[in-house]
């Protein structure tokens, strides 16, 4: 019989975020009580999963006490008392933030990222820091500094990366909400592997920074990771909007069109010639049938990408960025850096200026192609978040997909395109494979239509939750 729940923890450990916050605001609970619940869950579950890299109970309880004082003073907060885990590459003032790297093992953030500040303004309580692969640049969450993070559905497997810690924390019930980052799918693929919702907004919809310099600049986003679309949407509501500290921050739509009036493209491989596990392909066809039966207009349509629009062509940007930021440290002290990252740095050091320029031009061509796709009577697009389910924790990626040998990024082919497109994309749970492992459905809309995307995702989530 297939498992329907994670082996470790409990997805139902928390109510939905609006219910939790209402209980805290109404005096039926308190930020202190909810924080203590999270700390107890972390103490029980984290030794099995290694999701959290830093937890300071005294700091978390002090933050909770501040929220309770604000409630007593009459302040209304939409996330009152909600415990949240922050990925270990996002600044939280006064907390050690390492990027999963020995180079930063003693770094203390001098200020909050705007997203963290907004979460706390809304009443959320930062209870701890969650694991990332080093520099958030690997699709598997293991580091020489913190070790391997494990998948709550099967601890022999990885939750993916780089937001492996945040998803393991939420999927196991340590916390009901986490904040991750996504420059190539890091907050969509791990949620797909753990039965969660991961929402990458339009680039600039949630202000980015202050924080570390990015190896993959100009496309990375802060992302809510939650159990349901409504929880992710509630978090997005407090996170979104321009801020003077981020020159790229932009406003997003306020419309929420009825999903039944949309034309949705189904693309089983997102227009790429790559292998997909039969179980994933079969589940996607089932999803499409259910959506059509529910009255949604779904047409078969693939985007057309420029030649080379894959990891091999676009990955040079990340490799060059890593080399620019950490090449000197790798040359001086290679023992301090994950060898998998060292290989990327070496590749970056070997690139010419022309190589990097070609990759940047390809990124722009991908963005133009994605924008053009949504001008051809297409309002939204759906397809698999990943071509496979989770794989063994010790491996960078599956060695083969659908029997076809693939490289270490063969599992990551479908998500980076929409980072380069700067478009909003969300992964929602869509069922299990024959081994009982979660699969994700990726839904995409044009840039700036984040709230329309969340409305459609809510509708699809409801349809997929119904029996049949």
Do β-strands 177-182 and 221-226 pair in parallel, antiparallel, or remain unpaired?
antiparallel
**Strands 197-200 and 425-432: what pairing?**
antiparallel
Q: Which of 162, 220, 267, 363 is catalytic?
A: 162
87, 102, 138, 200: the active-site residue: 87
51-75 b/e (C-beta count within 10 Å ≥ 16 → b): bbbbbbbebbbebbeebbebbeeee
End-to-end CA, the chain: 18
Residues 29, 101, 172, 186: which is the catalytic one?
186
Say if strands 425-432 and 438-444 run parallel, antiparallel, or are unpaired: antiparallel
Q: Please answer whether residues 410 and 436 qualify as being in contact, where contact means their C-beta atoms are separated by less than 8 angstroms.
A: no
Helix, strand, coil percentages (3-state) for the chain, rounded to 5, are 40, 15, 45
* Residue 200 annotated among the catalytic residues of the structure: no
- The continuous run of DSSP H or E covering 444 comes out as strand 438-444
CA angle centred on 148, ends 210 and 54, rounded to 5°: 45
Q: Which residues of 331-354 are buried (b: 16+ CB within 10 A; e: fewer)?
A: eeeeebbbebbbebbbbbeebeee
| Largest separation between any pair of C-alpha atoms in the chain | 61
Measured from the Cβ of residue 295, the count of other Cβ atoms closer than 10 Å reads 10
- 186 catalytic per annotation: yes
363 catalytic? Reply is no
Q: Report the catalytic residues.
A: 87, 162, 186
């Amino acid at each position: 019989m297939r498992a329907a729940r994670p082996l470790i923890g409990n997805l139902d450990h928390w109510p939905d975020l609006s219910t939790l916050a209402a209980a805290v605001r109404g005096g039926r609970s308190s930020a202190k009580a909810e924080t203590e619940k999270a700390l107890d869950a972390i103490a029980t579950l984290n030794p099995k999963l290694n999701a959290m890299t830093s937890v300071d109970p005294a700091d978390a309880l002090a933050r909770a006490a501040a929220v309770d004082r604000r409630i007593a003073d009459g302040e209304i907060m939409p996330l009152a008392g909600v415990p949240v885990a922050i990925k270990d590459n996002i600044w939280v003032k006064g907390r050690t933030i390492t990027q999963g790297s020995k180079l930063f093992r003693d770094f203390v953030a001098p200020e909050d990222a705007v997203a963290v500040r907004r979460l706390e303004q809304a009443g959320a309580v930062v209870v701890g820091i969650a694991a990332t692969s080093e520099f958030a640049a690997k699709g598997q969450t293991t580091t020489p500094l913190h070790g391997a993070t494990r998948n709550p559905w099967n601890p022999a497997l990885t939750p993916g990366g780089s937001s492996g810690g945040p998803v393991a924390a939420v999927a196991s019930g340590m916390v009901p909400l986490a904040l991750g980052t996504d420059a190539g799918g890091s907050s969509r693929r791990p949620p797909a592997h753990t039965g969660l919702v991961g929402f990458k907004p339009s680039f600039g919809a949630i202000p980015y920074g202050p924080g570390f310099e990015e190896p993959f600049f100009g496309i990375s986003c802060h992302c809510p990771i939650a159990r349901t679309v409504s929880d992710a949407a509630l978090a997005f509501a407090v996170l979104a909007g321009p801020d003077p500290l981020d020159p790229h921050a932009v406003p997003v739509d306020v419309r929420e069109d009825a999903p039944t009036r949309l034309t949705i493209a189904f693309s089983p491989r997102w227009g790429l010639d790559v292998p997909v596990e039969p179980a994933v392909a079969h589940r996607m066809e089932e999803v499409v049938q259910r959506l059509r039966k529910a009255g949604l207009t779904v047409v078969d349509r693939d985007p057309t990408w420029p030649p080379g629009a894959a990891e091999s062509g676009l990955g040079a940007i990340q490799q060059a960025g890593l080399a620019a930021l950490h090449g000197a440290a790798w040359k001086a002290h290679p023992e301090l850096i994950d060898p998998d990252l060292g290989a990327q740095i070496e590749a970056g050091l070997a690139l010419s200026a022309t190589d990097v320029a070609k990759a940047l031009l390809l990124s722009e061509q991908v963005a133009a192609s994605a924008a053009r796709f949504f001008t051809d009577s297409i309002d939204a697009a759906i397809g698999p978040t990943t071509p496979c389910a989770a794989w063994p924790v010790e491996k960078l990626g599956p060695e083969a997909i659908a029997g076809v040998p693939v490289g270490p990024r063969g599992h990551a082919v479908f998500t980076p395109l929409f980072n380069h497109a700067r478009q909003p994309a969300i992964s929602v749970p869509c069922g299990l494979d024959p081994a009982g492992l979660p699969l994700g459905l990726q839904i995409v809309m044009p840039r700036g239509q984040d709230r329309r995307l969340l409305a459609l995702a809510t509708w699809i989530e409801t349809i997929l939750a119904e029996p049949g």
